[in-house]
Chain A
Amino acid sequence: MASIWQYANPRKFIQTTDRVLPWIAGAALVALIVGLVWGFFFTPEDYRQGSTVKIIYLHVPSALMAINGWIMMLAASLIWIVRRHHVSALAARAAAPVGATMTVIALVTGAIWGQPMWGTWWAWDPRLTSFLILFLFYLGYMALWAAIENDDTAADLTSVLCLVGSVFAVLSRYAVNFWNQGLHQGASLSLDKEENVADVFYFPLLLCIAGFVLLFIALVFLRTQTEIRARRMRALLVRERLG
């Protein structure tokens, strides 16, 4: 059986992701279009939230990917720290702008939903606050990569930052359970059927989540390929200047 570490080879990674990328991107597009159209046009209003319930199809999947994007970066950073595979460090770098965008979508849609439902755009609620800090960590992570010229040093330092930021990624997910206070409600989706949203909202929401997950994977593959090529180009340019 082939080892997963073969994908640490940049050439092998690009060859493999080149083959699967069109399929993943196509599946993401289909899932997003069907899920969003289903949710927007063909689901009823909620008896308490009215039509604002339709914001769930953007807010929940983006919030999920904001947190899981950081967890993916954590895994890639740990692989870099332990095994020193450049592709994993570059994959973490590639995922950061995608995760940051997901965080912005979650924060903005949450604020827009909160204004009519809670009577305020923002509250210093445990989940909202930890989410805002997670967004600041995303910005800091990207700024650190951009600020350091040496790729290996940048990978080392951003990996440490990623480890620290993981505390807030976990807090963003479990803040409601930890403190049991604030405005934000508990999870909209759970393995416990009793806690889930009603079926009429549940299935389009699942499709939207699948769409966001696939879009995240497709973008991370594409952006990792770009980072690999950019790194090789920097190395060639240095060689050119020297010789």
Chain B
Amino acid sequence: MMPDLGKYAEAVLSSYAISIALLAVLVIASVVRARRVKRDLESTEKRGRNHAD
């Protein structure tokens, strides 16, 4: 299944590994921050409503 990359195997594999790792970190960091900020905003809004009541 694995193609024969010959003498450039290290270059090709490291390119894919580094790129996929960077993209994964970017996606995970974006999703985690999105969830955290959404949750924090909801609790801030709830606190504000309770305070107004």
Contact = CB atoms under 8 A, between A and B. Distances in A.
B33 A226 contact: yes
Contacts, number: 94
Given A50-B7, A230-B37, A232-B41, A223 B30 contact: yes
Nearest to B21: A105
A240 interface: yes
- Do most interface residues of chain A lie in helix, strand or loop, or is the interface mixed? helix
Contact of A98 (B14, B18, B26, B41): B26
Nearest to A215: B23
Given A50-B6, A51-B6, A233 B41 contact: yes
B32 to A, nearest CB: 10
A194 B14 CA distance: 31
Interface string A205-243: 000000000010001001101100110110011011000
Contact of A51 (B12, B22, B26, B27): B12
A173 B51 CA distance: 54
Nearest to B38: A229
Interface of B: 1, 3-9, 11-12, 14-16, 18-19, 22-23, 26-27, 30-31, 33-34, 37-38, 40-41, 44-45, 47-48, 51
Interface of A: 36, 40-41, 45, 50-52, 54-55, 58-59, 62, 97-98, 101, 104-105, 108-109, 112-113, 115-116, 215, 219, 222-223, 225-226, 229-230, 232-233, 236-237, 239-240
